[in-house]
């Protein structure tokens, strides 16, 4: 695996790969890789001749008071893991390389970004859409792989790529979970032992809603209420939101009579976790 | 010359051209072509193996009450002129092709877009940056040609393309003028005879400022004041702005001690005209 830190360097490697006719798969990450990221890289490896992963803790998607400075980083371990999972290139640009002096351009996706996490993190998806647009233009991938754990992010990126007529196909990959059901996240390391134990309520409550839906419950408020009550029964949990929206554009719905996203964000101490399930 | 109305059709033609190793030059326009546009197409022809022009009256760059509905259109004449000037392809998408149902993504360039025309047309450059980002992604040109008449637009497009890491090189082409100095514009057809005669004051006042600068005047307020006074002496003219900013990011300056843009927007009846000169 080659490691490259400059945009020009990444372009040069990619130009060579494309001139050999290789399909390019891309996995953008913020590093501190876990099994979820590695699953994305392996998926890319299965379907593409050339696999690029990137690690960039993107400052523009963190709000004031969020954990940009303290976001966990371990570049050497990340490089070893990405290589084992099948990446051909690891692109790790500096903040200055991505946002040089005078930088002024932002990409926004309207509508869906003012819901769910967008309410609590008003500039987050603008940062995501902007950095992903930049990375897509640098890597010019045929396929790009995103985890469904950040489902709203997946929808925003897919909408942005389609709206801006990018040729990339955005592929969603199911959430990878710990043995007890907790969705893998780089932020799980923030949890202390009792918070870690309590956090299992997230996946369990989503599972309960899936069963209620399978048993015939279609009222969105009932399904989200069921999840909320289960989480609120956990003393260490503080709910930011538990909501259901229609897919793919996060439309308001009262009845789940087509594909819908049941998503939640919950704080355990200072750690904010998200999870979701798609109701068919 | 081939005419194509769909994005897929344009991509297919461009894929063929690129597979032949041709350099792609691109001239995006809103149609109603005049000698200014044709100069851009000829420039593209000189330096590129394959030349794409587009005609799209972009609704997102017109504000409420502006002339989107009445903007002059003549697609048959445009096609003949573009072909004669050397275009290989004329891409003329519908509004629905560019902005299908559910469209939600916008590109903004901060800072420089809140000055000059951005004060009077607050959503204009967002529309420009968005449609140009889309067109660049569809055409994927090596070079794109923009007239310096819309100098602020040229700066916004250049900033956007650099910031989003697009591989295109944005080329500015000097303003083409009528014999008496009036900058060519599709909107000149709106002028009645007396307005048309009065409009010559724009280029004359800019020329006077250039002479004053050449003679040693460096105070920005003096140079813009000279232009403003000449225009205000013309009874049919109503000034929107006459301003000087430093290049390339339209920084505030008091002294012209490096490249600066002296730009103006002036209304004659219902017609708003812009013009500018770069002070070296």
Give the mean pLDDT of chain B. 97
The stretch A204-208 carries a mean pLDDT of 98
Contact by Cβ (8 Å): A85, A41: yes
Average pLDDT over every residue of A244-254: 96
pLDDT at B187: 94
Q: Based on the residue annotation, tell me whether B37 is a catalytic residue of this protein.
A: yes
Residue A186 banded pLDDT, cuts 50, 70, 90: very high
Q: Across the interface, do A109 and B108 touch by the CB < 8 Å criterion?
A: no
Q: At what angle do helices B220-232 and B200-214 cross, to 10 degrees?
A: 150
> What pLDDT, in 10s, does the model give residues B34-47?
999 999 999 999 99
Alpha carbons B55 and B72: distance in angstroms, whole number:
12
Which positions of A are annotated as active-site residues? Answer: 37
Q: What is the pLDDT of residues B143-172, one digit of tens each?
A: 999 999 999 999 999 999 999 999 999 999
**Percent of chain B predicted with pLDDT > 70:** 100
Tens digits of residue pLDDT in A19-33: 999 999 999 999 999
Which of chain B's residues have a Cβ under 8 Å away from the Cβ of A111? Answer: 104
CB contact under 8 A, B105 and A109: yes
Residue of A nearest to B99 (CA): A163
- Give the pLDDT mean for A124-150: 98
Q: How far apart are CA A52 and CA A73, in angstroms?
A: 19
In order along its 280 residues, chain B shows pLDDT tens digits of 999 999 999 999 999 999 999 999 999 999 999 999 999 999 999 999 999 999 999 999 999 999 999 999 999 999 999 999 999 999 999 999 999 999 999 999 999 999 999 999 999 999 999 999 999 999 999 999 999 999 999 999 999 999 999 999 999 999 999 999 999 999 999 999 999 999 999 999 999 999 999 999 999 999 999 999 999 999 999 999 999 999 999 999 999 999 999 999 999 999 999 999 999 9
| pTM, rounded to two decimals | 0.96
List of chain A residues whose C-beta atoms are within 8 Å of the C-beta of residue B108: 105-106, 108
Residue located via tokens 């003219």: B237
Contact B116, B247 (CB under 8 A): no
Q: How far apart are CA A244 and CA B145, in angstroms?
A: 47
**Residues of B with CB below 8 A from A102's CB?**
159, 249
Residues of B with Cβ-Cβ distance to A106 under 8 angstroms: 107-108, 110
Kindly provide the ipTM of the predicted complex, given to two decimals.
0.95
Pick the residue from chain A with its C-alpha nearest to B133: A164
The pLDDT of residue B228: 98
Maximum CA pair distance of chain B? 58
Q: Cβ separation of B134 and A103 shorter than 8 Å?
A: no
Check residue B85 and give its pLDDT: 98
pLDDT value, residue A123: 96
Cβ contact B105–A108 (<8 Å): yes
Average pLDDT over residues A155-164: 98
The C-alpha torsion from A28 through A33 and A36 to A40, rounded to 10°, is: 40
Q: How many CB atoms lie within 10 A of CB A198?
A: 19
Q: Determine how many CB atoms are found less than 10 A away from the CB of residue A151.
A: 24
Q: In this predicted model, what pLDDT tens digit does every residue of B245-278 receive, in sequence order? A: 999 999 999 999 999 999 999 999 999 999 999 9
Mutation pick from B109, B110, B163 vs chain A, by most beta carbons of A within 10 Å, is: B163
Return the sign of the alpha-carbon dihedral for residues A107, A112, A116, A122: positive
Report the run of H or E that residue B124 belongs to, with start and end: helix B124-139
Domains of chain A: 2-173 (3.40.50.620), 186-275 (3.30.1300.10)
Q: Which residues does B contribute to its contact with A (CB < 8 Å)?
A: 7, 11, 102-112, 129, 133-134, 137-138, 159-160, 163-167, 249
Mean pLDDT of A71-76: 96
What average pLDDT does chain A have? 97
**Min CA distance, A138 vs chain B (Å)?**
6
């Amino acid at each position: 695996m080659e490691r490259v830190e400059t945009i020009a360097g990444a372009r040069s490697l990619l130009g060579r790969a494309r001139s050999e006719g290789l399909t390019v798969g891309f996995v953008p990450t913020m590093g501190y890789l876990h099994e979820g990221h590695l699953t994305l890289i392996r998926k890319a490896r299965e379907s593409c001749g050339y696999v690029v992963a990137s690690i960039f803790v993107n400052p523009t998607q963190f709000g004031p008071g969020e954990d940009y400075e303290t976001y966990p980083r371990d570049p050497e371990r990340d490089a070893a893991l990405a290589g084992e999972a099948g990446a051909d290139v690891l692109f790790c640009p500096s903040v200055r390389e991505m946002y040089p002096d005078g930088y002024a351009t932002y990409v926004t996706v309207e509508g869906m970004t003012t819901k769910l996490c967008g309410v609590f993190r008003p500039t987050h998806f603008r940062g995501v859409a902007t950095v992903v647009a930049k990375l897509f233009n640098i890597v010019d991938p045929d396929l790009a792989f995103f985890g469904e754990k950040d489902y709203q992010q997946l929808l925003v990126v897919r909408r942005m790529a389609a709206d801006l007529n990018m040729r990339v196909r955005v592929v969603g990959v199911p959430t990878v979970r710990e043995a007890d059901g907790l969705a893998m996240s780089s932020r799980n390391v923030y949890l202390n032992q009792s918070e870690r134990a309590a956090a299992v309520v997230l996946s369990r409550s989503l599972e309960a809603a899936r069963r209620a839906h399978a048993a015939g419950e279609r009222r969105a408020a009932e399904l989200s209420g069921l999840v909320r009550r289960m989480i609120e029964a956990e003393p260490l949990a503080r709910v930011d939101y538990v909501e259901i929206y229609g897919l793919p554009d996060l439309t308001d719905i009262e009845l789940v009579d087509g594909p819908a996203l049941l998503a939640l964000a919950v704080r355990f101490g200072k750690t904010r976790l998200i999870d979701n399930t798609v109701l068919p």
